[in-house]
Amino acid sequence: MSKCKSPYCFVADQQCIDHNVKKLIASHSNGHCINLVLQYSLGEACPKIDLMVKECGELVTHFKRCELNALLPTSLKQQCNTRWNSVYDMLHSIDSNFKQVEDLLFIRKEDNSYMDSIDQNLMKNLCELLSYFKIASEQLSADQQPTLHLVLPWINKLKSYCEIKTNDSPVIKQVKKIMLEQIQEKIWLTQLHEIATFLHPMTKNLLSLSQNERDDVHKATREMLKTVGLVQSQQLTTMYEQESEDDDDYDEVHYYAKAKLSFAKDEPVLEWWDKWSLNYPKLSALAKWLLGIPASSATSERIFSASGRVLEERRQNLSGDVVNDILFLRNFRNIY
């Protein structure tokens, strides 16, 4: 069995890489990057959207202060700057209760105060656009299955959802344009994401890339096999020769890329690599290491937040090791 001498990897909210540190791979938290895209796009850069979001926030505050949520089918939700997708949750909660909210305000003779300046059609269109970002951030911040291979496909999807259509309103066209610019500026994609996408059997064909770009990913995968100690330099040279001369030596990257492989939609990808480890022992070891890198730092942040509930007022004398053990058992007890 191949042993993988893996370099260390960390996931950070922002780029904070010490280039003097050896055997270190850094990856941005893509969930945070998506959130930054939305924060900027829905803020002062698009005044009409910014104004509507603020007015919706005032409406929700009014309903909570006057205890009117109990009179609605579902409660209105307030946005929170530190909580992902909270703008979508707020707008969606208002849109779902729009008629009932109007009726309540009319009965209370407050309709002109809050609803006249909220455009329901604009809210619906914005909710539809934001729903894609919500799904993306939720899938990229999952902690029960690999997520790194989803980054490249999801960023391409978000770009396509932000393409301007002829029937879009001027405000939606403006916010889509800003979102596209922010995706380019704030989301940091590297070959790490491309290799992870290549190592998932459903996305290994890398259809969003050109043939030259696919060849570069295959080459980078071979280099990574060397980086993590799965192949030696001499073996790597043989692999490059086989790509061009079709040598008889077995190049796992070449044959994996060309093979037509079956993959059930609900099959865990790490179990799939276990099943195919006899055919691709080195790639299997690399996949298990690389796909173990999270696309987002959300899991570690959730665990950090949970530590505040462990170290409550009556449990202040717990040692650090005991807290670590409690958090580990609490969050990973279902793995085995």
Q: In the prediction, which pLDDT does 15 show?
A: 46
Q: Please tell me the pTM assigned to this model.
A: 0.82
pLDDT tens, 143-188?
888 999 999 999 999 999 999 999 999 999 999 999 999 999 988 8
Q: In the prediction, which pLDDT does 284 show?
A: 94
Residue 132 identity: Y
- Alpha carbons 102 and 108: distance in angstroms, whole number: 10
Q: Could you say which DSSP state residue 6 is in?
A: P
| Average pLDDT of span 237-255 | 60
pLDDT tens, 1-44?
445 555 555 555 554 444 443 344 445 678 788 988 999 999 88
Of 187, 189, 188, 202, give the one whose Cα is nearest residue 287: 202
Residue pair 254/218 in contact by the 8 Å Cβ criterion = yes
Residue pair 159/183 in contact by the 8 Å Cβ criterion = yes
Q: In the prediction, which pLDDT does 309 show?
A: 75
Q: In the prediction, which pLDDT does 21 show?
A: 37
Half-sphere exposure of 46 (CA within 13 A, CB side): 25
pLDDT tens, 296-332?
877 777 777 777 777 777 777 888 888 888 887 777 6
Q: What is the mean pLDDT of the chain?
A: 84
